[in-house]
Amino acid sequence: MNVFGETSAPLGFMSFCSRNPTDCKGGTSEPTVVELDAGSWGTLNEVNDLVNRTIEPVSDQDLYQQVEMWAYPTNKGDCEDYVLLKQKLLIEKGWPKESLLITVAIDDFGGGHAVLTVKTNIGDLILDNQNEKILPWQQTTYTYVKRQSTSHPALWVALSSIE
């Protein structure tokens, strides 16, 4: 993914940060890349499968009676809720926050969609509630718009899907 400088964070994310300030702190000036091996690949798949299996997809409108609400899901949620939980679980397992980036894309139907980008030694991988497989970003059909910065979780950068 090509980065084109800073951009605004999604409003739902900003609201999430106001309710969960410690989850939006931290960061380093050095990007972190995870070295994938059999163990880390297994952990990545385990977390992706667990969240995709246990969270029922429900829109924010149906769940919260709001158009947009980013929150950790308990048993229901929409795409950004899946992403928040995957990110949280991986951080709890010792993964660096700087390698786990919430990413906003346009999906195949033209709607906004959130996925988790994981920065690894083999490239950026996408964890997605709409796909059980973890894929390199280039193998998805999404148009990537913006994501968290590797230097600080509250900063966002503009993206282009063109290599």
**Length in residues, the chain:** 163
Q: Which helix H or strand E contains 148, and what residues bound it?
A: strand 143-148
So what's the pLDDT on residue 29?
58
pLDDT in tens, 61-75: 999 999 999 999 999
How far is 96 from 92, CA to CA, in rounded Å?
9
So what's the pLDDT on residue 159?
93
Q: Alpha carbon 78 to chain centroid distance?
A: 12
pLDDT in tens, 6-47: 999 999 999 999 999 999 987 665 668 999 999 999 999 999
Task: Give the pairing of strands 56-57 and 76-77.
Answer: parallel
Say which range, 22-36, 38-52, 110-124, 144-158, has the weakest mean pLDDT: 22-36
In degrees and rounded to multiples of 5, residue 12 shows phi and psi of -60, -35
So what's the pLDDT on residue 83?
98
Average pLDDT over residues 132-161: 91
**pLDDT at residue 161 is higher than 60:** no
So what's the pLDDT on residue 163?
47
**pLDDT at residue 162 is higher than 70:** no
Name the fold adopted by 2-160.
C8orf32 fold (3.10.620)
Q: Name the pLDDT band for 125 (thresholds 50, 70, 90).
A: very high
The verdict on pTM exceeding 0.75 is: yes
Average pLDDT over residues 52-58: 97
